[in-house]
């Protein structure tokens, strides 16, 4: 790792600018971020993490300006049954796995919640309701982060190998990949139809953070004041509503197209920043039992949903 902070800052900005180039896609941007974090060193770990969260929300809202609300509602219906059934399955199976592997109960619940709904966001929301400590949160986040990164790189390749349709890949990726950022990144690489379907299903799935957190508060007697609600999804719906209702003159259509284009580039930059947030400390914090639980959960939901998608669609 480079010790000179000035050189690290220069390289960080060069990598970030390069990730905005049209030839760089989401998986490549994530790899660039990981390379920077591991071999060079991220000079702005806290700042890049905060910026990644903000950029992801802005990018998703921007994508809404290219999606018809009526079509999105119809698309969302495709994933509703999968969403409910898979959330319940992952939480129950995760609890059983945690007991069998003797993983710390709170860490096990965080990993299961992150796998069931939307990765780091679900972990952050649920952590406060069960009074999880910093180590338990970091272990769960590290587990989900590693698997989430692998999914972003692996899913498009598997989808092409199996010759999945845009609809099949959109549903599969939205349910089987942890974080929204990687879902949108993988679907973006696969195709426009897959991107629209995956985004709608994943954001609908993210709303289940609220009932999960409230149920957890009731069962664990945690603090409901610590529940984090994904308000930006409302702005995403508003963007789709605007796109659907406003007459499409040439100027309006071009404006919407520009917003969507820059939103996609912002998403790629977001993946770079997320990759840059990886640290050797994060990897070392993940114990073998917790990681094994995460792998088994992720593999189970990925295979089950893939089989279901192939049969039903």
Model pLDDT for residues 118-154, shown as the tens digit of each residue? 887 788 778 777 777 777 877 888 888 888 888 988 9
Sequence length of the chain is 313
Per-residue confidence band for 92, with pLDDT thresholds at 50, 70 and 90: very high
Query: Is the per-residue pLDDT at 12 higher than 70?
Result: yes
Q: What is the model's pTM?
A: 0.79
100 CB-near residues (< 8 Å, 6+ apart): none
Ramachandran category for residue 102: left, alpha or beta (phi over 0 → left; psi -120 to 50 → alpha) = left
pLDDT of residue 76: 63
Q: Give the separation between CA 129 and CA 124, rounded to whole angstroms.
A: 9
Dihedral sign, Cα of residue 31, residue 302, residue 120, residue 130:
negative
H/E element holding 95?
helix 69-101
| pLDDT grade for 224, boundaries at 50, 70 and 90 | very low
In a domain, 177, yes or no: yes
Taking the C-alpha atoms of residue 194 and residue 285, their distance in angstroms, rounded to an integer, is: 35
> What is the arithmetic mean of pLDDT over 219-240?
69
Work out how many domains the chain is built from and give that number: 1
CB burial of residue 20 (10 Å; 0-12, 13-18, 19+) = middle
Rounded CA separation 145/143 (Å):
5
Residue 7 lies in a domain: no
Residue 271 domain-assigned? Answer: no
pLDDT of residue 158: 94
Averaged over 60-88, what is the pLDDT? Answer: 78
**C-alpha radius of gyration, the chain, whole number:** 19
Q: Is 52 within the bounds of a domain?
A: no
CA atoms within 13 A on the CB side of 98: 18
Q: Is residue 260, in this structure, part of any structural domain at all?
A: no
Residue 269, in any domain of the structure: no
Could you tell me if residue 303 is inside a domain? yes
Is 151 inside any structural domain? Answer: yes
Domain of residue 241: give its range: 61-245+281-312
């Amino acid at each position: 790792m480079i010790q000179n902070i000035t050189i690290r800052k220069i390289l960080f900005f060069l990598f970030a600018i390069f990730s905005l180039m049209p030839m760089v896609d989401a998986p490549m941007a994530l790899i660039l971020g990981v390379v920077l974090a591991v071999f060079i060193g991220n000079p702005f770990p806290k700042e890049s993490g905060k910026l990644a969260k903000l950029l992801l929300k802005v990018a998703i809202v921007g994508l809404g300006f290219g999606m018809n609300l009526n079509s999105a509602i119809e698309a969302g219906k495709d994933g509703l049954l999968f969403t409910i059934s898979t959330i319940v399955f992952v939480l129950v199976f995760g609890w059983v796995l945690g007991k069998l592997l003797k993983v710390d109960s709170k860490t096990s619940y965080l990993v299961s919640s992150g796998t069931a709904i939307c990765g780091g966001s679900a972990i952050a929301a649920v952590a406060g309701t069960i009074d999880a400590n910093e180590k338990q949160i970091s272990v769960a986040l590290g587990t989900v982060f590693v698997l989430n990164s692998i999914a972003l790189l692996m899913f498009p390749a598997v989808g092409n190998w199996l010759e999945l349709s845009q609809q099949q890949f959109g549903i599969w990726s939205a349910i089987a990949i942890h974080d929204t950022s990687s879902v949108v990144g993988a679907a973006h690489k696969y195709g426009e139809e897959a991107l629209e379907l995956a985004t709608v299903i994943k954001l609908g799935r993210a709303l289940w953070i609220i009932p999960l957190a409230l149920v957890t508060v009731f069962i664990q007697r945690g603090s409901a004041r610590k529940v984090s609600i994904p308000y930006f999804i409302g702005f995403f719906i508003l963007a789709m509503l605007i796109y659907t209702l406003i007459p499409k003159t040439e100027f309006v259509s071009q404006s919407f197209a520009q917003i969507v284009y820059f939103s996609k580039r912002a998403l790629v930059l977001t993946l770079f920043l997320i990759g840059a947030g990886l640290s050797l400390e994060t990897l070392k914090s993940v114990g073998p039992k917790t990681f094994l639980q995460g792998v088994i959960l992720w593999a189970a939901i990925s295979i089950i949903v893939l089989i279901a998608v192939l049969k039903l669609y």
